[in-house]
Amino acid sequence: MSKPQQLSLSVSLKDDATFDNYYAPAHSSNGQVIRALREQVEGQGEHFLYLWGASGVGLTHLLQASCHNAESRRLVVQYLPLHDMASFAPEALLEGLEELDMVCLDGLEAVAGHPAWERALFNLYNSLRDAGRLLLVAAAQNPRELNIALPDLRSRLQWGITLKVQPLNDADKQQALMRRARERGIELNEEVASYIVQRVPRDMTQLFCYLHKLDHASLAEQRKLTIPFVKKTLNL
């Protein structure tokens, strides 16, 4: 299947954005979110899923993980980060997407309230439904609170299942940081992990960026991750 011409726009997925390295503690409902995403791609769930949650809960990670999962099953999928594409002409960008197996729209709030985008998204929803394709959407708010002016689009956004991605508490963030460190072959004990979580912005994306920085610094200086080393490297 040849992709429409506008899809030559380069949009890359992070290799490490997988379901396996997304930390979903047993006490949260995020495990149910991952199951719904897996079932969607497997053809056992809803065709349309809408994820929402606060900054840092991992919406982009989950969407990209779904794309990787779809591609592993030989589905043709397109991921669109709308925060980076709001200035594009939506009709040209979205035209022909119903020819693909799956479409993932990340950051819907970036184009909410823009008439041209709302019309184009309304048409995309209809064409995907008619073609029996999969659609995965992520936004900072639920469909009822999103700043959508077009009533028909608002109703389309509620066609499938809406799932909230829950934020992690500090203890969970510490466990997630330690787990990511293990995956990268980094020795990070509970004391140091707790020190990091308590002293830097607690957005998981930022925490993982700090871990990446510490990894490079420890390799360069041949040092273990101790509290003094972390304090010096991160200027805490």
| Total structural domains within the chain | 2
- CATH number at 107 reads 3.40.50.300
List pLDDT tens digits, range 80-111.
999 999 998 999 899 999 999 999 999 999 99
- Report CA 218 to chain centroid distance, whole Å: 29
The residue among 164, 195, 223 that closes a domain is 164
Alpha-carbon span 51 to 63, nearest angstrom: 9
Residues 75 and 91 in one domain: yes
Q: Which residues contact 218 (CB under 8 A, 6 or more apart)?
A: 186, 224, 225, 229
Q: In this structure, what CATH number is given to the domain that contains residue 183? A: 1.10.8.60
Name 101's Cβ contacts closer than 8 Å, sequence gap at least 6.
70, 75, 76, 77, 133, 134
What is the structure's pLDDT at 10? 60
| Shared domain check, 61 and 176 | no
Same domain, 160 and 143: yes
* pLDDT tens for each residue of 135-157: 999 999 999 999 999 999 999 99
pLDDT by residue (tens digit) across 46-76?
A: 999 999 999 889 999 999 999 999 999 999 9
Same domain, 93 and 193: no
**56 and 141 fall within a common domain:** yes
The range of the structural domain enclosing residue 202 comes to 170-233
* Residues 17 and 47 grouped into a single domain: yes
Residue 201, pLDDT score: 78
Q: How confident is the model at residue 2 (pLDDT cuts 50, 70, 90)?
A: very low
Same domain, 119 and 14: yes
Question: pLDDT grade, residue 45 (50/70/90)?
Answer: confident
Among candidate residues 130, 164, 198, the one where a domain is terminated? 164
The pTM of the whole model exceeds 0.75: yes
Last residue of a domain, one of 164, 187, 209: 164
Is a pLDDT exceeding 70 seen at residue 236?
A: yes
